[in-house]
Amino acid sequence: MEHVTRTDPFSFSVDPSTGIVTPHDNLIQRRLSHMNGMFMDQAAREAMLEVEDTLLYEVYEVEVPDEAGHLMVCTSITYPGKVGREYFMTKGHFHEKIQTAEIYSCLRGQGIMMMESDRGDWKAEPMTQGRAVYVPPYYAHRSINTGQEPLISLCVYPGGAGHDYATIETKGFRKLVLEKNGKPEIEDNPKWKSRI
């Protein structure tokens, strides 16, 4: 049987209006400057950066042993806004161990979970308060805030899953979510590169 590092049971609180986890061990903050080449409208991003390096999303992490048998837990908070016509979003990632899944339980806000498999299959699922998204194994995933308030989820995934950001950074998602006539629309990403 696989060895699992023992920890004592514990609990933590999650504020559904802010996504703040108490106590938490790590806070990751991603700003516009960290998202080079990820938004379609590069000129709009550069113009925004000249004014402010806007905070796009945050992740509060609870530290547990990052190994099989444990469950990693965090909150993901994507703030409302747009770069050109494209809604604020997370970088998106595959898991390093690509055969691992994840649950996103939405606590607040309005958005879309964009998912894309290593074979190029894609699916967009709605994220609203009280709704959960199952991200199956082999699917990259990105939260996109199409609403007016923070999009907040509680995320749970297997210990040892790891994160592969590089694939999305270089190849992108095949679908983008852009505002058209005041509403979110899913459009092809002209810069998308197939993985197969």
Measured over the CA atoms of residue 65, residue 68, residue 70 and residue 71, the dihedral's sign is positive
Strand partners, 133: 104
Best CA proximity match to 79, nearest among 137, 32, 12, 129: 32
123-182 residues near Fe ion, rule: CB under 5 A: none
Stretch that binds Fe ion, among 48-56, 96-104, 107-115, 175-183 (CB under 5 A): 96-104
Give the separation between CA 56 and CA 44, rounded to whole angstroms.
15
Among 62, 102, 112, 114, binds Fe ion (CB under 5 A): 102
Residues 99, 137 contacting (CB under 8 angstroms):
yes
Q: Cβ of residue 51: shortest distance to Fe ion, in angstroms?
A: 31
Instruction: Draw the binding track, 52-91, toward Fe ion (x: CB under 5 A; -: no contact).
Output: ----------------------------------------
Which of 87/104 has CB closer to Fe ion? 104
| Residue 11: Cβ-neighbour burial (10 angstroms; 0-12, 13-18, 19+) | exposed
Q: Cβ of residue 141: shortest distance to Fe ion, in angstroms?
A: 6
The count of residues interacting with Fe ion (CB under 5 A) is 1
The contact set with Fe ion (CB under 5 A) reads: 102
